[in-house]
Structure 1
Amino acid sequence: MKWGLKPRLILAFVTIIILPIVASVLFLSVVSSGIEARSGNEDELDLLLTQVKDTVEQNAEYLAEPDLFYEKVRPLLKKYDVGLQIFSPNGESLFNSADYQPSQESSILLERLGKFTVDVTTQGQGKLSAEIQANSLSVPPFSQFKEIIYAVIGAIVTGLAVLGALVLLWTWYLSRTVLNPLKEIYVATEEVIEGNLDYKIEYRKQDEIGRFIHGFDLMRNHLKKSTEQQQQYELARKQLIASISHDLRTPLASIKGYVEGLEDGIARNEEMQKKYYRVIKSKTDQLDRLIEDLFEFSKFELEQLSIEKSLVNSREFFREVFQVAQLEYQDVDLVLADPLPSVSLNIDGGRMKQVMANLIDNAVKYGGTNIVMKVERLPGFVQASIKDNGQGIDGEDLGSIFKPFFRGEKSRSRESGGTGLGLAIVKYIIEAHGGEIRAESHPGKGSEFVFTLPMYVK
């Protein structure tokens, strides 16, 4: 059974109150039963009071002579070690044994427990009052009072001992199960502040503190992953800056060289000049793609990449995309699989054309000479795929191709001028439309990019 923190605190509170009381009561019960067993069946105190009453009645005639009266009652007083004082009906003291026992001890305890009064009826003196005062609690019947006092004190001491033991026990237990874990949490917090995100708290109990520590560990792990991702992101950003610097410098250097060649008259005939112009145009197109990717990604990072949706027919949309691609890539065998489903899609046509253009361009750029574009209708979705027969993607790179700035070894072509941002932007646009995208590839056998778009439902 697993106890939570609250039940444990309640149990500690109850046991600290109840167990000392139970221990005291048990101790008092055991000792009291022993006192009763030793006292026997006859009540010695009643016997004493009866004997005092009888003795005073029998010797009341000697009260006029206190010395003689003392001699008559002295054996009884000595036997029980008590003092005797007799008062007349009007409260006058007729006899006081203290006059004959000057060494008599006195204490508050004796005053409270060892003083008794009995009424004595005499013929000559009338109704007298005899007050008995014990001189000691060591002689029966007053010894029972002493034993009872010791029993009460023992019960109190026992209760306090149990209370002290419970306080120490619960203090140790709660310190180990509550205070120590809280200290560990504090230490872990300090470690996290210092940047140590691998510090783990060892606590196995499934109580409130355990759940708190579990939440703390989840936060720490999330922070660790976020930090690692941020570090990877910063590393990729630095690599991107270095890469973009090179990618921008290369076409600019080429453009500059060809322009200088034209200025210097190196291109002496029209055919060579046209060649120079084609190269310059190719390099400016490459620069334009680089700058466009960076511009799009800056809006993507700032979550300002606008998505303006409108209703389009899927068949008309994908057929238009295919026809534009046919005109642009006339040297590639581009195939559109039939039939095309005709359903309503609520999409941003411009952004989705950007997605298709990026995927087809990637397929052509990395060796695809036979590209198949296929669109299917699924329950609630339209699924589109772009399949090529290019060089494919390494398995270790396949899981990272949609990350910003990622460029696999085979795609680090300076001729392509890729930034590693295109597929990240594609993924963002697809997900902004409520769809998903994935890639399947086998090195040397080509790749297939598959994405879905939800159908419009009125």
Structure 2
Amino acid sequence: MKLGIRRQLIISFILAIILPVVITLVLLRVFTVKVNTNTEFEYLATPDLFFENTTRKIQDDFSNVTNHSTIKIALREYFESLDGSLIIMDIEGKVLFDSEDSNVYEKNIIQEFDTQYGSDLNIMIAKDDLVKYVKPIIINRQLVGNAIYEFNEQTMADARMSEIVIYLAISFLAGIAAFVLLMVLMTINISRNILIPINKLSVATERVAKGELDFVIDCSRKDEIGVFCEAFDSMKNQLKDSLLRQKEQDEAKKQLIASISHDLRTPMTSIKGYVEALKDGKAKDEITFKKYLTVIENKTAGLDRLIDDLVIFSKLETGKMDMHLASLNSQELLEGIASIKEQELSLTQCQLIIKRPFPSVRIEADKERMMQVVDNIFNNSIKYSSGNCLIMLESKVISKSLRIVMEDNGPGIHEDDLMHIFQQFYRGDKSRSREHGGTGLGLAICKYIIEEHGGKIWAESAIGKGTRITIELPIIESDIYNAINDVMSADGS
């Protein structure tokens, strides 16, 4: 499982803190062991034991004591550790070995020791920083001489302290170096995992700002940056779709303006012609006069519908379309609408089939807006019918909803157009649109009104098989039980 950026950063910072400390502590431990096992520090811990061991080596090789090179090799540890001097003499005070060739001075010292302490010596004299150790040399339980060790204790201590300081410095510098190395690695990791992808996103943002939307961002990562890349790519695609829709709407608006110009000019020209005919007295009889007035009335009604659609569209665009929802009885609402449509369609060639009785449930609805929805759907059915017009209206309760169905026997809608008919300005087949006119706003207005009621609307159609528009409105919760009982009773009867 790939770690996310947050976990990577947390682990990196923890390592950057802990690992240098661990390295420092490990080195301190190693150097501590080295100091504890180093003969150079043995004197500081157990000086008597150190000089006894050295004296024992002299005893073991006493026969070669006059051979300087042999003794210096045998006592190399002493000379390297303390950087001191050594005098070996017999019991008569004769100097057998002098590392500094200062026999006279050392003889005086021996004489002083003989005067004060006798010949069998095991003493230490410290004067200022100079330390002298005198150890007896005993072979086969007989005193054969003395070894006089002399060194500067402060110089030796300073040297040892310098070495300890060096060990400490190495330990802490190693910890600091580890910290710096980890910080460099963290910087490289952050650059590779965060900064480089962000730079790519920055470049992508600039491309989007320039209007370039046809490119893909690499989103192969599975961490937060990958999620961010996917979100950015999704946003880019949504922006692209939005711009395409905006372009389509702009094109539709242009077509709408051209259509409105045509739809306004044509009836206005017709009205103007009939008005001039009436003014010129061409209507010689009452029948002709009424015929002219009927034409003018119909053309004016068409203009009213066009203006109404534009006014409603303006309200939709500005969000100022008011809904006056109230608790209504569905049967009373539908009966009122059906009665009006029966009366209107009786004056046309369209036949209206109403499947009664309507369900009696309570819904939240705006009576005028629901009438407007039915008007728009019926007007479309009448507009696109080819003479023998048939419209069916029915309603029933489905689960927790009131379903209203309006179906006609018109020419139907092409499958490619069906998914767009509720969009603003969409008018499907251009040749049919020019022939029948309209703004392409009717069904878009219906969709808006129904959705404001908390319902939904959809269409089913096929070429040559008519169109079926279905509306579903939610039933008021307290009335659902009664509605279900009514449905069950109707099914039982």
TM-score by length of 2: 0.70
CA spacing shift, 1:407–1:122, aligned 2, 3 Å = farther
Q: How does 1:23-422 map to 2 (within 5 A)?
A: 23=23, 49-50=51-52, 80=79, 82-83=83-84, 124=116, 128-129=125-126, 130-131=130-131, 132-133=151-152, 155=171, 158-198=174-214, 200-330=216-346, 331-367=349-385, 369-409=389-429, 412-414=432-434, 416-422=436-442
Deviation (angstroms), 1:155: 4.8
Contact 1:313 1:345 in 2 (8 A): yes
| Post-superposition CA distance 1:195-222 (Å, at most 9, x none) | 3345554244443434444444444344
| Post-superposition CA distance 1:64-106 (Å, at most 9, x none) | xxxxxxxxxx989997273569xxxxxxxxxxx9997xxxxxx
Q: Distance in 2 between matches of 1:9 and 1:435?
A: 50
- After superposition, the CA RMSD in angstroms is 4.2
Deviates most, 293-302 or 430-439: 293-302
Contact 1:84 1:133 in 2 (8 A): no
Q: Distance in 2 between matches of 1:419 and 1:202?
A: 44
Contact 2:460 2:469 in 1 (8 A): yes
Q: Distance in 2 between matches of 1:128 and 1:46?
A: 13
Contact 2:407 2:469 in 1 (8 A): yes
Contact 1:392 1:444 in 2 (8 A): yes
Deviation (angstroms), 1:266: 4.5
Aligned to 1:195, the other structure's residue is in SS state coil
Aligned to 2:116, the other structure's residue is in SS state coil
Q: Distance in 2 between matches of 1:411 and 1:337?
A: 35
| Post-superposition CA distance 1:305-349 (Å, at most 9, x none) | 221123332222212222221221122221111332122223111
Deviation (angstroms), 1:148: 7.1
- Write the letter of the residue equivalent to 1:19: L
- Write the letter of the residue equivalent to 2:116: G
Contact 1:400 1:406 in 2 (8 A): yes
Q: Distance in 2 between matches of 1:79 and 1:305?
A: 106
The residue aligned with 2:452 is 432
Deviates most, 204-213 or 315-324: 204-213
Alignment coverage as a number of residue pairs: 407
Report % sequence identity. 40
Contact 1:35 1:144 in 2 (8 A): no
Residues 1:2 and 2:2 are matched in the alignment: yes
Deviation (angstroms), 1:270: 4.5
Aligned to 1:334, the other structure's residue is in SS state strand
Deviates most, 2-11 or 127-136: 127-136
Deviation (angstroms), 1:379: 2.1
Q: Distance in 1 between matches of 2:169 and 2:473?
A: 86
| Post-superposition CA distance 1:39-71 (Å, at most 9, x none) | 69x9897666458999xxxxxxxxxxxxxxxxx
Segments of 5+ residues of structure 2 without an aligned counterpart are 57-70, 87-98, 103-111, 118-122, 132-150, 479-493
Q: Distance in 2 between matches of 1:322 and 1:411?
A: 32
| Post-superposition CA distance 1:239-298 (Å, at most 9, x none) | 211211111111112222232333344545554444333322222222111111111211
| Post-superposition CA distance 1:380-432 (Å, at most 9, x none) | 21111011111000111101111111111168445643111111111111111
Q: Distance in 2 between matches of 1:286 and 1:415?
A: 14
Aligned to 2:438, the other structure's residue is in SS state coil
Residues 1:446 and 2:466 are matched in the alignment: yes
Contact 1:439 1:448 in 2 (8 A): yes
CA spacing shift, 1:136–1:257, aligned 2, 3 Å = same
CA spacing shift, 1:17–1:123, aligned 2, 3 Å = farther
The residue aligned with 2:17 is 17
| Post-superposition CA distance 1:107-159 (Å, at most 9, x none) | xxxxxxxxxxxxx988617973142238999xxx9999998777666655654
Deviates most, 374-383 or 316-325: 316-325
CA spacing shift, 1:283–1:152, aligned 2, 3 Å = same
CA spacing shift, 1:344–1:32, aligned 2, 3 Å = closer
Contact 1:370 1:389 in 2 (8 A): yes
